[in-house]
Amino acid sequence: MEELQAYNRRLLHNILPKDVAAHFLQRERRNDELYYQSCECVAVMFASISNFSEFYVELEGNNEGVECLRLLNEIIADFDEIISEDQFRQLEKIKTIGSTYMAASGLNDSTYDKAGRSHIRALADYAMRLMDQMKYINEHSFNNFKMKIGLNIGPVVAGVIGARKPQYDIWGNTVNVASRMDSTGVPERIQVTADLHQLLSSYNYTLEYRGMVTVKGKGEMMTYFLTATKGDGSQIHPKAQPVEETIIGSICH
């Protein structure tokens, strides 16, 4: 019985964030009980392989598409391995939707950095790492996958839906806009909102003005591209300095 309980605990920790899993392990839960948490300043990322649908074909030579899915699984596994690195401990993988990878940071007290906003910078760094990883995958698999990434920041509601197969997810306008930053983005670029541009610029990240973009349900939005390198070609290492409170307040409250 103890072995079964230990197995169940490990399983729960694999499908839910640590703090959420701990909540459910502490007591009995009714099937209709709702767990939710309001988070005031979360960074959200959607990263999609924009041309994967062109790559996926069901032919006898690729086992009716199984080999295509095998490669996608290897790509997602690489992303999972990167997010498990200590420097990205403030991040949480939310889910994959087809060939789109969704992650967020700052979802609980242990990962939310109100003073320095390090959780936001960590997600920006992770997005750049994914771009580099995709280039590496293309070089070694002789493919030409194109990834585009969308980032946004703001309040969200996090929660667990379902009883037999509980699913952790996040909701809110912040999530919707992050998804739109991905869908309206450009292959091999990281598109961010004006609010996120304002914050990252304060930490000496390099961003390029894209212009006004038509976003479904939002109208025209000013967006920027986060670039993975400085002018000298070196990797960005943002300075760990606090952002002015006036900037923070306008973004996350």
**Which residues participate in catalysis according to the annotation?**
180, 216
| DSSP letter for each residue of 168-211 | EEEESHHHHHHHHHHHT--TT-EEEEHHHHHHHHTTT--EEEEE
Residue 70 DSSP SS3: helix
CB 206 within 8 A of CB 230: yes
The continuous run of DSSP H or E covering 219 comes out as: strand 219-226
d(CA 120, CA 57): 37
Q: Could you give the CA distance from residue 6 to residue 8 in angstroms, rounded to a whole number? A: 5
